[in-house]
Amino acid sequence: MTRDDILARIKAELGDRVVDFHAKSDRRYYVEVGPDDVPGATRLIFEELGARFQIATGIDTPRAIEILYHWAFDRFGFVLTLRTKLDREKPEVDSVAGICTGTEWIEREMWELLGVKFRGHPDMRHLLLRDDWPAGKFPLRRDYVRADHA
């Protein structure tokens, strides 16, 4: 199997669920799917194609909360980022921790810091913030105001 075979299989198996697919370079690819398609795409990339989970990133953009799961295909020398965009007012997506346990802590971080609800997560409790952190206050959200600056 080659890099081109892997990319072709991802495009073929995800089909019309792919919102966007582009190459940033010959070593960096992005595939965007809707939130409901994240678990299926993760199964394909991790379980079937054998990519290694690197990290996930959560970003509060003006239009959406973006979640990016970064997957390394070490043998082929490239990284594929699986991106989805969540509604800023109700950012929810199914957890992929049951598929790839390496995602468990970073999903907890994104829940704490961005307010993303990861449905079905096995251990959704504070990881970085105090247990008594105020509900509904997410320090990496654009609308967050620090108490000492209010």
> pLDDT tens for residues 13-43?
999 999 999 999 999 999 999 999 999 999 9
| Structural tokens at position 86 | 């969540």
Region 56-80: mean pLDDT is 97
Residue type, 94: D
Q: Which of 141, 129, 12, 24 is nearest to 83 (CA)?
A: 24
Q: Which of 30, 41, 39 is nearest to 97 (CA)?
A: 39
Region 45-55: mean pLDDT is 98
Task: Determine the pLDDT at residue 145.
Answer: 82
> pLDDT tens for residues 75-124?
999 999 999 999 999 999 999 999 999 999 999 999 999 999 999 999 99
Q: What is the 3-state secondary structure (H, E, C) of 87-147?
A: CCCCCEEECCCCCCHHHHHHHHHHHHHHCCEEECCCCCCCCCCCCCCCCCCCCCCCCCCCH
Q: Which residues pair with 53 in a beta bridge?
A: 71
Task: Determine the pLDDT at residue 144.
Answer: 86
| Structural tokens at position 83 | 């991106």
Q: pLDDT tier at 58 (50, 70, 90 boundaries)? A: very high
Q: Which CATH superfamily is domain 3-90 in?
A: NADH:ubiquinone oxidoreductase Nqo5 subunit (3.30.460.80)
With a cut of 90, say whether residue 4 has pLDDT above it.
yes
CA distance 148 to 32: 38
